Amino acid sequence: MISDPLRPTPTTTGIQARSARMAMKPAGSIPGYVDGEWWPRSGDLAAEVAELVSALESWVGIVSRVSFHLGTWGTVPRKALVEDRIVRFGGFLSMDPNTVTVIGVDSRLVSLLVVPSDAPRVWCRL
Q: What are the structural domain ranges in the chain?
A: 22-114
The span from the CA of 124 to the CA of 126, in Å, is 7
| Predicted confidence (pLDDT) at residue 5 exceeds the cutoff of 80 | no
Report pTM. Answer: 0.78
Q: Measure CA of the first residue to CA of the last residue in the chain; give whole Å.
A: 47
* pLDDT of res. 17: 40
The span from the CA of 53 to the CA of 102, in Å, is 8
| Predicted confidence (pLDDT) at residue 81 exceeds the cutoff of 50 | yes
The span from the CA of 98 to the CA of 26, in Å, is 21
The span from the CA of 115 to the CA of 4, in Å, is 33
Class of the domain covering 22-114 = alpha beta
